[in-house]
Amino acid sequence: MTTATAPTISLPDEPSLLTRFRWAVADTLVLARRNLLVWARVPAYLVFTVIQPVMFVLMFRYVFGGAIRIPGPITYVDFLMPGIIGQTAAFATFATAIALAQELKKGVIDRLRSMPMARSAVLAGRLVADTGRMLVTILIIVAVGYAVGFRFHNGVVPAILMVVLATVFGLAICVIAAFTGLAIGDEESVQAFGLIWLFPITFLSSAFVPIQSMPGWLQAFANNQPVTYVINTMRALAIGGPIEADLWKSIAWLAGILIVFGPLAVRAYKRAS
């Protein structure tokens, strides 16, 4: 029996700030790698997270698209793709909330919290892995968009910036999702709750249809909510057009979400039971 006779691992009593920071980074990477490994081990995750947005692309492009009028010379597929990409990033966060709720339920988070590891690493590792996963999904959807007629009309750098903005937007939603996952702590409820807020904020926006086609009272909401700002900015980056106002509002909203929900998620993690 080696367990008890061997000394406990010799760690200094109070590690220095630098050591603690190095550990936090190392722990985050270890957990991010684990999360990606789990993702790779379950091909169904991969398939479902990609198939769902692909279905949206095909449905809006070929089923609803014919009936939706876009003002100006823009084709519907060019209008649609930035919207779908934004929605893909937002919906990818379901997995974040569900995974955290599951880990909470199974006691994985209890185990990790009872260990001498960085307390920030579980959340950070989850966000790093999920953002990476989200980026892959976004790139796949861009490729699918190209196959059904979408083109970037505004050059390479704005195209890259659009993907970056979509990813940062996804990260912000991810932080909200992490908070809901930890605060609610039950996967079915988390999933149901995700639908309740993600569906309205993505569909009641400029993602799929021009807002002018909505009734006035709805326009008031759709015109002034963050998803519309982000999608408008992405659309301007992808196909050109005025960008300034929407860009600043997007940045302000995304920063605001991270500032509010980041600490809330950390608090929910620390209190998780």
Q: How far is the CB of 96 from another protein (least distance, A)?
A: 16
Contact stretch for another protein (CB under 8 A) within 9-17, 71-79, 232-240, 257-265 = 9-17
- DSSP-derived letter for residue 8 is P
Q: CA–CA separation, 167 vs 241, rounded Å?
A: 21
Binding-site string for another protein from residue 185 to residue 214, where x marks contact by CB under 8 A and - marks none: xx--x-------------------------
Q: According to CB under 8 A, which residues from 224 to 263 bind another protein?
A: none
Please count the residues of the chain: 273
Q: Which of 48, 64, 69, 106 binds another protein (CB under 8 A)?
A: 106
Q: What is the DSSP string of 33-55?
A: HHHHHHHHH-HHHHHHHHHHHHH
Looking at the Cβ atoms of 9 and 67, the one nearer to another protein is 9
CA dist., res. 267 & res. 244, Å (int): 35
Residue that has been written with the tokens 């809901």 in this structure: 180
Contact 233, 161 (CB under 8 A): no
Report which of 66, 86, 127 is spatially closest to residue 232, judged by C-alpha positions: 86
- The minimum distance between CB 53 and another protein, in angstroms, equals 23
**34 CA to centre of own chain:** 18
Residue 115 CB, nearest approach to another protein (Å): 6
Q: How far apart are CA 156 and CA 237, in angstroms?
A: 10
Please identify, among the stretches 6-14, 56-64, 67-75, 129-137, the one whose residues bind another protein according to the rule CB under 8 A: 6-14
Q: How far is the CB of 38 from another protein (least distance, A)?
A: 4
As a whole number of Å, the end-to-end CA separation of the chain is 33
Please choose, out of 27-35, 69-77, 90-98, 257-265, the segment that lies near another protein by the rule CB under 8 A.
Answer: 27-35
Minimum distance between the CB of residue 253 and another protein, rounded to whole angstroms? 31
31 forms part of the interface with another protein (CB under 8 A): yes
**Token representation of residue 205:** 């926006």
Query: Mapping DSSP to helix (H, G, I), strand (E, B) and coil, where does residue 105 land?
Result: helix
Q: Mask 122-151, x = binds another protein (CB under 8 A)?
A: ------------------------------
17 is an interface residue for another protein by CB under 8 A: no
d(C-alpha 191, C-alpha 189), whole Å: 5
Burial of residue 95, with CB atoms counted within 10 A of its CB: 0-12 exposed, 13-18 middle, 19 or more buried:
buried
Q: Which parts of 147-186 interact with another protein (CB under 8 A)?
A: 185-186
67 counts as binding another protein under rule CB under 8 A: no
Site of interaction with another protein (CB under 8 A): 1-9, 11, 13-14, 23, 26-27, 30-31, 34, 37-38, 41-42, 105-108, 110-117, 121, 185-186, 189, 273
